[in-house]
Amino acid sequence: MENIKQHITNLRNELREHNYNYYVLDTPTISDYDFDVKLKALQELEDKHPEFYDANSPTQRVGGAVTKNFETVKHEYRMYSLDNSYSKDDLLDWEKRIKKMVDGDVAYTCELKYDGASISLTYENGQLVKAVTRGDGFQGDDVTANIKTIKSVPLQLKGDYPPKFDIRGEIILPFDGFNKMNEERLANGEELYRNPRNTASGSLKLQDSAEVAKRPLECLLYNLTGTNLGVTTQFESLEKARSWGFKVPDAAVLATSVDDVVAFVNHWDTKRHELPYETDGIVIKVNNLQQQEELGYTAKAPRWAMAYKFKAEQVTTVLNEITYQVGRTGAITPVANLEPVELAGTTVKRASIHNADQIEKLDIRERDTVFVEKGGEIIPKIIGVDVAKRPANSQPTVYISHCPECETELVRTAGDAKHYCPNYNGCKPQIIGRIQHYISRKAMDIEGLGGETVALLVNEGLISNYSDLYELTKAQVIPLERMAEKSADNLINGIKASVAIPFERVLYAIGIRYVGETVAKKLAKHYKSIHNLMEASQEDLEQVDEIGVKIAESVTQFFASEENIVTINRLLEFGVQLSISEEDLKGQTDLLKGQSIVVSGVFEHVSRTELKKLIEDNGGKVSSSISSKTNFVVAGDKMGPSKKDKAERLGVALISEIEFLQKINHTF
């Protein structure tokens, strides 16, 4: 029996190596026939000896597992978006911001930006244990069974890999494979796939993994995530990942200046057309991982990375009609309805015009031939008009004066780019939009309730604001279109479960204008409860860190509305969390209230992230750069000399990690 086990192990190792040589290195060392013979032999041995089953055996790549519902999984480390740049000036501005925040020379790793479906792979003890889509960055879908069928994804690593880590990358469909798939569909009289990116993305959610196995997908990896990974730079992490068996493209280079970065961009802006797969730009990352940690993140993106997008593709088409949409805040957005046109791999029928000023500035009119491009390769927008092709009877566009939904006269305040419908409680798109925002993932995340169902509930007269959700019954929702008994149960249970969502997310969910996720966190932390926030004056609000006049005005206006107060009181009655819980208040003090603190260097007892949280939990503000307003610097090992010099020059105290932890009475 031991001989059989050893024979199975040897076959698995041999097939993994052949697989790596073929799909990662592109240097096959065995014929396809011989590979298939060995694979079949392994399959027969495994069938006879199920006691030696291995979920990561090469035989598992053929698929066969069927997933009816993909489980939603929270990312252990958030998958952030990237900020975009479009010129050398953008990159120079970014570099200036970086150099204000970190010490010493800054080098950059430049990589191609692959246009596919983002994926996060988790490895433990060298084995693939989980593959999760990006989703909203906080959570995604578990697609492990499908990812295992992709030959360039290693199921078992080799070398000196860490015990546990995540690695991020893109699932892509090379042009050759995409074209072959379409040739087959054409021969079968089936509708052709639109583009490689969407086809790759759609493949990840196929229910039958055997179908995914038939598609020539590849996985290109580019970012290690975790702790104690044994690397100090981004460039080194790419080399390490490659040595562990991952397919890491070798186009990446180290750059020591923005000029080097621009040279890399210019090279690939032309050469990208020779690549075997789609790419839409370059990603530039600060190379030093300690500097990355010092730079940290904004609410949406890492400060240490920037995407440089290649010049957007541009086409011309006819603008048939301008219509107007009403958003949840009452903002009116004009929309260009276009003659359908192919743009960057998709059919474009609508484009954004932003506001009345843009219509006037570009003199956009119905029946004009317009130039359309994808802003950041995502949202189509009109960038100009071909006046030479304008019809003789053309008339200038007159912007609407009344709401297209409720006929209320629009308002536009001084300094505001948009027109607004002031009918807050009577304009249906606003009502629906506010409730859709309330139930969204980053807000109340109500499972079983989607945007279409919200619209249905409002149109049927069952709800008129988000507090009405908590009075819905199963008997009321079952008669709705496409609502079965199980989905009705899920909806009601999802609403009930939402009362446990913490205060900061509820504050974001209620939809105060200008109060996004980050502002909601700051206000929740400062005021502790909705009652305290409701009683705050505009002057009081403006004293809160990073709360300006516009936000303060918006908050006071929201709570000046009697209807809003009624809604908030109803939420309180239903048990929604409108104050910070006792559990969350544990460990929070005012010991550092009003103090601005900079964190710099490497720490031994707590991580930099924990250190920043401790500062905020004790009422302090974490600042990225030293100034005369800085109260003190928590100085770790390898603190940069220029920061140290600046602190001494300004008379700012430097304290050690241990001194800081003692200062806030933290045990370690």
* Cβ proximity of 365 and 392 under 8 Å: no
Q: Among this protein's residues, is 113 annotated catalytic?
A: yes
Q: Positive or negative CA dihedral for 4, 8, 13, 14?
A: positive
Residues 593 and 664: their CA atoms lie apart, in Å, by 12
Beta strands in 327-359 (DSSP E): 332-343, 346-352
Q: Which string of DSSP letters, residue by residue, matches 90-148?
A: HHHHHHHHHHHHS-S---EEEEEEE-SEEEEEEEETTEEEEEEE-TTSSEEEB-HHHHT
Residues 618 and 615: their CA atoms lie apart, in Å, by 5
Distance between first and last Cα of the chain = 51
Residues 571 and 566: their CA atoms lie apart, in Å, by 9
Give me 305's structure tokens.
Answer: 């990375």
Distant-in-sequence contacts of 360-366, Cβ < 8 A, 24+ apart: 363/387, 363/396, 364/319, 364/322, 364/336, 364/397, 365/319, 365/390, 365/394, 365/395, 365/396, 365/397, 366/319, 366/320, 366/321, 366/322, 366/397
Tell me the pairing of strands 72-74 and 139-141: antiparallel
Sheet of strand 596-600, all strands in order from the earlier edge strand to the far edge: 621-623, 596-600, 632-635, 653-655
Sequence letter at residue 580: I
402 forms beta bridges with: 409
Catalytic residue, candidates 38, 68, 113, 205: 113
| Active site (catalytic) residues | 113
